[in-house]
Copies of this chain bind each other. A is one copy, B any other.
Amino acid sequence: MTSQFTARCRQHSRSVEPLDCARCSVRDLAVCAALPPPAADALERHVTSLELQANAELARAGQPCRHAYSVTSGMLRLVRTLADARRQVVAFVLPGHFVGLSEHAVHRHGVEAVVPSRVCAFEIDGIRDLRERFPAFEHTLLDRACRELDDAHDAMLLLARLSPPERLASFLVRLRRQMSIPAHDPRMALPMGRGDIADHLGLTVETVSRSFTRLREQGVIALPDPHHVEILDPAALHELASALH
């Protein structure tokens, strides 16, 4: 099953063998944890590990869905693009999370690496099979789908009704939580560029930049460089983001 990856992403990804799920860094987080040992073995037979360069395309909107992916390191983005290049980053996907549980025949969004990343690719047929044989697996998937649905509803409220600084504050708070950054650590990395943030928050890069600047001027955050934020006033940040948390 490796060949079609190397064919599609020849310059961007390579498959990495052998695979040792028992040592997987995200095993407890990932869907794999929901499976009893025999099922996990079955799963392993259907999995390929992939290494992705920054901006590598794992899938393109419109393509048939052949695999589901579990991220083990780095960060992915799910992207929808209109004919006139308007773009929306539907979600950023962090290690331990899963892409492609939908039963759609074709991808509804592109899947791209934000930074160099590693993912486990599962054959859809294998997943379907496991779903039928192990109710606990399906249960876990439903649970995750509901969580994602809640996230999407949060995102809708953010896009529909929050001001740019509120959107940015909410985004930072959510990202910190997704990355499991402890509250006492003020530092955080922003792996994605301003363009991705803008397309995630429904703004322009300029407005995102100005919102960063505003938060900095108000003493809420510091920006050592464009890819690092320091939370100086957590209370103020949460106040701004309060709508969604």
Contact = CB atoms under 8 A, between A and B. Distances in A.
Interface of A: 80, 82-83, 86-88, 90, 101-104, 108-109, 131-132, 135, 138-139, 141-143, 145-146, 148-150, 152-153, 155-157, 159-161, 199, 201-202, 242-243
Contact of A138 (B101, B102, B142, B156): B142
Contact of A139 (B87, B138, B202): B138
B150 A108 contact: yes
A148 B242 CA distance: 26
Contact of A243 (B82, B148, B161): B82
A199 B156 CA distance: 11
Nearest to A135: B135
A102 B146 contact: yes
A102 B87 CA distance: 29
9 tightest A-B contacts by CB?
A160-B202, A152-B152, A159-B159, A145-B145, A102-B146, A86-B161, A142-B142, A88-B157, A88-B160
A63 B202 CA distance: 31
Nearest to A161: B86
Nearest to A160: B202
B149 A102 contact: yes
A80 B159 contact: no
A156 B152 contact: yes
Contacts of A90: 153, 156-157
B156 A88 contact: yes
B155 A156 contact: yes
A160 B159 contact: yes
Given A88-B161, A101-B146, 13 more contacts: A82-B243, A83-B242, A86-B161, A101-B142, A102-B149, A102-B150, A108-B150, A135-B138, A138-B138, A141-B142, A148-B149, A152-B156, A160-B199
A157 B104 contact: no
A149 B143 contact: no
A132 B138 CA distance: 11
Contacts of A243: 82-83, 86
A86 B161 CA distance: 7
A168 to B, nearest CB: 14
A143 B142 CA distance: 9
